[in-house]
Amino acid sequence: MAATHRLAADQVHYEWNNALEPRLEIDPGDTVAFDTRDAADGYYSKDSTHADVLGRGPFRGHPLTGPVRVRGAAPATRWWSRCWRWSPPPISAGRRSARARPAPEADFPKPHLQIWDVSDHVYARMGLGIAVPLGCFPGVMGTALDEAGGHSTMPPRKNGGNMDIKHLTVGSTLYLPVWVDGALFSVGDGHGAQGDGEVCVTAVEMAAHVTLRFALQRGRPIPEPRLRTSPTARRSDGTCFVTTAHGPDLFASSQQAIRYMIDHLVEERGLSREQAYILSSVAVDLSISEIVDAPNWIVSASLPESIFAGG
């Protein structure tokens, strides 16, 4: 019988490392309720000022809750987690930082801190009459890498990691490749709202409670993360299936995301490769999900699945 577990945020880790001991071991089908810290590890408060941005010191890594070991997960399989529930805290912070971003550094030479009010769990309120609808999701979800040692949580990787894909909201499903036995899944970096790209480096950053259900798909390996959105996360008329590709070149990643989509349409929908390529040009949307965490950016290719209901 499937079980429900809980992991508190009293213990976190700050790197991808397959030598970390799992904090929890679960079976496929189990649900885990995670408490997560915000990306700044609780440094900011509602009374913080612009000066506190400089006083924080160097980034040491996202505080991640986990890892969770999934029994039966092994390389050459894939597994998925489905987002069931989110609950944000009363305030969140958005800050400007010196990491890579589209706007030149000289355009914004001084640190700036924005505190957002998310206490009504509906909007992120900036003041000035601005209220951004909340669309809570975890910026970081990933499995352990198959390379030894510690690896930064900053860039997105083949294990998922800091993908910052805004469509991973309640009801969505994330498919992750498994690189080590047990998968060793971790999550953190809650976002209350974010645009595609996360262009000034931060979203509405927040601590969060997220509930995920896990499952395995054996014998169906994938090279990079994929997802299926909930109807409200992407389109009002149904779900989207999304392939992702990461790397330092947006054009190369765009090509790779389309290759993955063609593979999906051939394997799952029975199309020829030529038909899949044509359909991708007609119905698939390319988007830059994240362009600020060097050296890798994320490109997503989104296919509305409602097109298969037309006969």
Domain span at residue 45 reads 4-222
Question: Quick check: 208 and 87 in contact, CB under 8 A?
Answer: yes
pLDDT digit string (tens) for 88-138?
Answer: 554 455 543 434 455 566 788 788 888 899 888 899 999 889 999 999 999
Query: pLDDT tens digit string along 18-65?
Result: 999 999 999 999 999 999 999 999 998 888 888 888 888 888 999 999
Q: Is residue 117 part of a domain?
A: yes
When mean pLDDT is compared across 81-90, 120-129, 153-162, 251-260, the lowest value belongs to 81-90
In this structure, what CATH number is given to the domain that contains residue 89? 2.60.120.580
In a domain, 119, yes or no: yes
Per-residue pLDDT, 5? 97
Q: pTM to 2 decimals?
A: 0.90
Confidence band, pLDDT 50/70/90 cuts, at residue 236: low
Quick check: is 46 in a domain? yes
Other beta carbons less than 10 A from residue 77's beta carbon: 18
- Domain count for the chain, please give it: 1
Q: How far apart are CA 7 and CA 23, in angstroms?
A: 8
Q: Phi then psi for 123, rounded to 5 degrees?
A: -130, 150
Query: Is residue 22 within 8 Å of residue 184, measured between CB atoms?
Result: yes
In a domain, 306, yes or no: no
What residue type is 272 in one-letter code? Answer: S
Confirm whether 14 is domain-assigned. yes
Domain-located, residue 284: no
pLDDT over 90 at 223, yes or no: yes
Give me the pLDDT at residue 234, please: 54
Locate the DSSP E strands across the chain: 4-7, 24-26, 31-36, 64-70, 78-87, 91-95, 113-117, 123-127, 130-133, 137-142, 156-157, 160-162, 173-177, 185-191, 205-206, 208-217, 226-228, 240-247, 285-290, 297-304
**Amino acid at position 298, single letter:** I
Q: How far apart are alpha carbons 209 and 129 in whole angstroms? A: 28
Answer yes or no: is 204 within a domain.
yes
Kindly report the CA angle at 54 between 37 and 38, in degrees rounded to 5? 10
Neighbour-count burial of 170, counting CB atoms closer than 10 A to its CB (0-12 exposed, 13-18 middle, 19+ buried): middle
Taking each helix axis from N to C end, the angle separating 250-269 and 273-283, rounded to the nearest 10 degrees, works out to 120
Please check whether residue 129 lies inside any domain of the structure: yes
> What φ, ψ does residue 49 adopt, rounded to 5°?
-125, 175
DSSP one-letter string for 2-52:
--EEEE-TTS-B-SB-TTSPPSEEE-TT-EEEEEE--TTTT---TT--THH
CA distances from 2 to 5, 29, 32 (A): 10, 6, 11
Check residue 178 and report its DSSP letter. Answer: -
